Structure 1
Amino acid sequence: SVREGVLILDGRRRLALANDEARRLLGLAADAEGRLCLDLGIGSDLAALFASGRDATDEVHLARGRLLAVSQRSTDRAGGPPGSVATLRDTTELRTMTGRADVAQERLKLLYDAGLEIGTTLDVTRTSQELADFAVPRFADFVSIDLADPVLRGGEPKLGRTDMRRVAFRGVREGSPLYPIGKLIHFAPATPQAFGFGTGQTVLEADMPAFSGWQEQDPDNARRLVDFGIHAMLTVPLRARGVIMGMATFWRADRPEPFEQDDVSMAEELVARAAVSIDNARRYTREHTLSVTLQRSLLPRALPAQSGLDVAYRYLPAHAAQGGVGGDWFDVIPLPGARVALVVGDVVGHGLHAAATMGRLRTAVHNFSTLDLPPDELLGHLDELVVRIDQDEGDGEAAPVTGATCLYAVYDPTSGLCALSRAGHLEPALVHPDGRVEFPAVPGGPPLGLGGSLPFEATELHLSEGSGLVLYTDGLVEDQRRDIDEGLELLRGALAAAPPTHGRTPEETCKA
């Protein structure tokens, strides 16, 4: 979708990938992939830049009679594989198109800045608003983004429908009669938005009062738009991977010049960049929703009847910024003799695979618990199961389970003793009746899946009447902006604020 050459070079400065535009601009051979950049026949100046791997921004190089603006970034600065990514743009063609070198450079910089400012998150609405914020006032006086409702839920638009919801808007001044964010708009067939949504074509209305098609949507509001000073409109389909998700509409009011044909290619490229980010966010939203649904379906829907403990729980799915839905799970399992097993675990990774694997481990724990095994023996069996799962899925198509953690505890209300064992999991918190909070030392075995490299150990705690035992996963206390010890102290403070003897129920503790 991007009218820009893209080259990916590996750590040995060999060409790993080139898109069609890069091949055209540089005249690359069909078998160019795998060759050293110095052997591509692209000119010594440009080849030297690629061979150096240094960062560059809009450097102009001559290649095959063309003036190319070249940008290059290293891929290993953030822990990625060694290599670099370079982008090429033909400034010669831009100069021919506009007739002015300064305009070509300005538009080149505009597209470069758009790549930095649009698509910073995996959120459909936020990415749409970033497009609107970027284009005003640099390209238009007002910008509106309308998407089909299914796109907001991770789906694809329905064929034959022209109704879209306004998800983003930006203008140079307040009080415009343009539809607000949140409004569901049923575009009339004659409108540029409906035409573009159905055909995938951009529509330019250089003199809006002279055209009637757009006015059929709402004649009264059309008069208000003209009175407000809006005189030119450019509608561009938001299309990625062959799917049209909505329409971006650019409007001019304060600046007197209308949109011209040169602006069409600029708007299309700007929207194409944003559309790829919106589509990525849409696809992520779909997987995130599926993962949440799957995980919720695999977690307990109701706590089982048992008389040994008062139990409450909370499950909050992670947000996109935190990496998405993971494989966290918990369980309360009644055992013979009024005893109760408490389980909390976490499968490494995020998404559907983590959620599905979590369901398998939860089922396994249920099955092993029927054998009435001590906690350390149960974790030993679970570790062997994870090893077999990793071996069965060793074809590389699925991520290994190794790294899953689990804490298994068995509480006996007749003696007040609680036996615990953990596999790489965080220690529980114990709230004493007087409000004192501690993290008791529970021997820490290795994460599941290491195949018995170290034995699991069990320990016993005496829980007096009115005590509170808090099991949790790392998502509660870990945060990139602080040390985990700080998170544990925040947890300690929340639990100590109102101990169980002061009347706070487990449900209220979860809320806190």
Structure 2
Amino acid sequence: MITDTDLRVLESNVRPTMFGGVGVPVGSLFHEFFNAQHAPEVERRLRQVVDGNAALSGMEIPFVSAIGPSGNPCMLSLTAARLEVEDGQTIGLVVDLRDVSEQHRSRHRLELLHRAADQIGTSLDVDRTTQDLADLLVPSLGDLAQVFLAESVLVGDEPPELAAGVGRHHLRCAAVRALGPWPSGMISPGEQLPSLPGKRSILNVLRGNAVVTNPRELAKLYGARSPLITQLIPPSGHSSVVAPLFARGLALGSVVVWRVQNDSPFDEGDSQLLLEIASRAALSVDNARRFTREHRAAVTLQRSLLPLSSAHITAAQTAGIYRPASSAAGVGGDWFDVVPLSSLRVAFVVGDVVGHGLHAAATMGRLRAAIRTIASLDLPPDEVLMQLDDLVQELATDAEGSDNGSDSTGATCLYALYDPVTRRCAIASAGHPPPALVSPNGTADFIELDPGPPLGVGGMPFDVTEIDIEPASILALYTDGLVEQPHISLGMERLKSALARACRSGCNLREEGDRLLTQLCGSTARNDAALLLARTHSVLGENTRSWEFPRAPEIVAQARNVTSKQLHAWGLEDLTFTTELIVSELVTNAVRYAVDPVRLRLTRDRILVCEVSDGSNTQPRLRRARSTDEGGRGLFLVAQLTNRWGCRYGPRGKTIWVEISKPSEQ
């Protein structure tokens, strides 16, 4: 269309068959083409173009014809430019209208898929996962949603085979969501979905496909049993879509979405969208189901709680050995663990739960799982033990109210955090014996610590001891079962002498650890024992570089420059573009939101580690920016370009770290 400066249409090729069956007649005011809700804004934006104050390109406007017969709602894209004569005087506008309804729907569907990936599966609880699915679908896809699961899935078991499930594949409502109150009489959480005639399940009908239906077709499917129809169809519901929850070859359940207030019926695109969301959600539901089953089995299988025996990572080579007591008590509560952390660091953990048997083993498993989770938060050793101390107090409170409340709940723990770049080790103890350190020359001695109270006492802090460790030293963490015979003092002297003899340069840690336990515990030990040996490694100075900058906008370019030069010096030119972009985003955030100083460190290993530190404790937040936002994409880009990223806090500020695969590792 061409308009004059008063926005009156002079020329138009918008035929009456376009945009819902209405045209733009010559002589009409252009903005009258839109309904009353959007016409004022269209007029305002177009007059800004006429006045030369703004440009207008790709303005999206929901459209239902305001004059003439109403057409289907659609989304229009409006672009306008001035028409000028040679002296620059504006004589009108040329306006372009395009129907972008399909692109708009595609963006909406893509956004919904992204939200599904982000929101569903954050919990390993079946009920929470299904509720997250229902919450996502309403109101984004419909006005009412129900999620049904096989009864066996709700308790963690596998559902029966679909082919053999006639009469046995019972579905029960697991989650619902509606705009407004839940309709009275409809199936609610906990209630069973009626079977189809012939004792068939709805899954026998779907067979892996999504189906668009309506009340009439649903009534025909279930027959003339009207009492059932009132449980299945919401009042005023006019269109629905049903999709199965299939994962790893298992038919877990189904999900149904109704439109009540929205007059638009579901179409094939909606059914495919729901099918894809249901496929992703089914994996999360199955993960939650499997977690439920494994957790239940772990309570009764105490030996399955024992950790892996060895690990070989950048920071250290480790070997862990557990020796159960020889008495009828069997497996007890001693444990060890090696937890890889950010920036090539590693946490060495050893602990001892009071008692033996199922109660001690179950408590050990809970503490070991908890400390791995807490350690992943990159907290200092004393804060890790404080968090664990709170957990032990909660376990003790729970035990008092249980059938086995007479069993004591307590534990000791030693947590050592080693950084191979600085070669510093920070150690904190909760009532646990001190670790031994064997230097490369074979000298063994115990590290002097100021141990705090055992876990569960509460109210007392834990002190941190920091030491420098030479490369190729061996750090030995152990439980008291290794040194209590004949008594603690003599047992520790025996251990120190045995370590000096056994832990020679280049020795096999696993073999020497087995010999140590056999020598010190014998074959009739009254208590279980654990030993963790760690041969420390270090990152060579030539493989790490760091810089410090004042907080100023120009340091972003400086940081990119030093990064590029260092990567070329290391022969990692292929990572230059990615790393420069990451450094630019992280340093820019530090300049904008943090305080002095800003530090950059690069470390080369099997992976490339990039760290940006500043003096602020502000929590970085990953968010999904909208198409109209001018910022907010920095951390999202970082997350997409790296293997892992995260943030850890120190006494003076925070460090954001990322790990990038080297070309040979990709």
Q: TM tier, shorter chain?
A: 0.3 to 0.5
Q: Radius of gyration: which is bigger?
A: 2
What's the TM-score, normalizing by structure 1? 0.43
